[in-house]
């Protein structure tokens, strides 16, 4: 989840930098401002699933080990964030606190909630896209990790950048533990298709905060 938070902060700061250049009334973003927006981003993250498991394919006598997690995050369109910053410049705002408060109000009033996921398979990093999480199921596509810096340089959003990466498999899990104690790990199982091989996948999943 930490990497997703960092990515979101980088995206926000990139938007801020472009807008500030247009009319530099707001101050240069420093450490205090970065921490302020980091705290803002973290407030809109919610853990959805976090676990590790083993995939087995008896026909090919092969196996894999995977760690995975996904978080839901509230987002705003890039143009809306740019507009908030542009309006702050037009009002001759001198503090990023005002911008932070406006973005927070917009997130509370009109946001889009998406689920971001990461998965490590045999120590290689991949992303999970198109994820859907319920209390008892989890599904997602496994894709190669994109070059976010290159996408940002060509003005491609992080979401489009991820969708342009290569799909190499998918994961589908169902919670198998019929009853569980609050705060205890539970067993999920299903299938993982990875590099043209189908695996029976069994995972130990950590409970979300408050479960």
DSSP letters spanning 83-133:
HHHHHHHHTT---HHHHHHHHHHHHHHS-EEEEEEEEEETTEEEEEEEEEE
The pLDDT of residue 184 is 65
Residue 210 and residue 117 in one domain: yes
Residue 3 and residue 98 in one domain: yes
Residue 202 and residue 181 in one domain: yes
Q: For residue 197, which phi and psi values (nearest 5 degrees)?
A: -125, 135
What is the C-alpha to C-alpha distance for residues 195 and 168, in angstroms, rounded to an integer? Answer: 5
Residue 127 and residue 182 in one domain: yes
**Angle at CA of residue 133, ends 130 and 134, nearest 5°:** 150
What is the C-alpha to C-alpha distance for residues 96 and 85, in angstroms, rounded to an integer? Answer: 9
Task: Kindly state the average pLDDT of the residues 196-211.
Answer: 80
Residues 39/9, Cβ–Cβ less than 8 Å: no
Residue 100 and residue 179 in one domain: no
Domain that holds residue 208: 48-73+113-211
Q: What is the pTM of this model?
A: 0.72
CA atoms within 13 A on the CB side of 101: 6
Structural domain ending residue among the three candidates 110, 130, 157: 110
The residue behind tokens 């700061």 is 13
**171 pLDDT tier (thresholds 50, 70, 90):** very high
Mean confidence (pLDDT) of the chain: 81
When divided into structural domains, the chain yields a total of 2
Residue 167 and residue 130 in one domain: yes
Q: What is the CA radius of gyration of the chain?
A: 20
Residue 81 and residue 66 in one domain: no
């Amino acid at each position: 989840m930490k990497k997703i938070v960092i990515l979101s902060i980088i995206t926000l700061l990139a938007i801020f930098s472009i807008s500030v250049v247009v009319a530099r009334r707001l101050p240069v973003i420093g450490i205090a401002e970065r921490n302020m927006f980091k705290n803002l981003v973290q407030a809109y993250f919610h853990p959805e699933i976090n676990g590790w498991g083993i995939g087995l394919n008896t026909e090919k006598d092969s196996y894999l080990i995977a760690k995975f997690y996904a978080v839901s995050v509230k987002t705003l369109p890039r143009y809306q964030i740019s507009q908030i910053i542009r309006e702050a410049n037009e009002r001759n705002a001198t503090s990023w606190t005002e911008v932070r408060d406006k973005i927070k109000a917009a997130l509370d009033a009109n946001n889009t909630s998406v689920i971001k996921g990461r998965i490590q398979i045999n120590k290689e990093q991949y992303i999970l896209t198109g994820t859907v999480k319920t209390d008892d199921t989890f599904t997602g596509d496994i894709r190669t990790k994109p070059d976010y810096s290159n996408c940002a340089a060509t003005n491609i959003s992080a979401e489009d950048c991820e969708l342009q990466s290569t799909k190499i498999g998918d994961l589908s899990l169902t919670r198998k533990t019929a009853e569980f104690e609050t705060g205890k790990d539970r067993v999920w199982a299903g299938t993982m298709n990875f590099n043209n091989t189908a695996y029976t996948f069994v995972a130990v999943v950590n409970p979300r905060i408050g479960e």
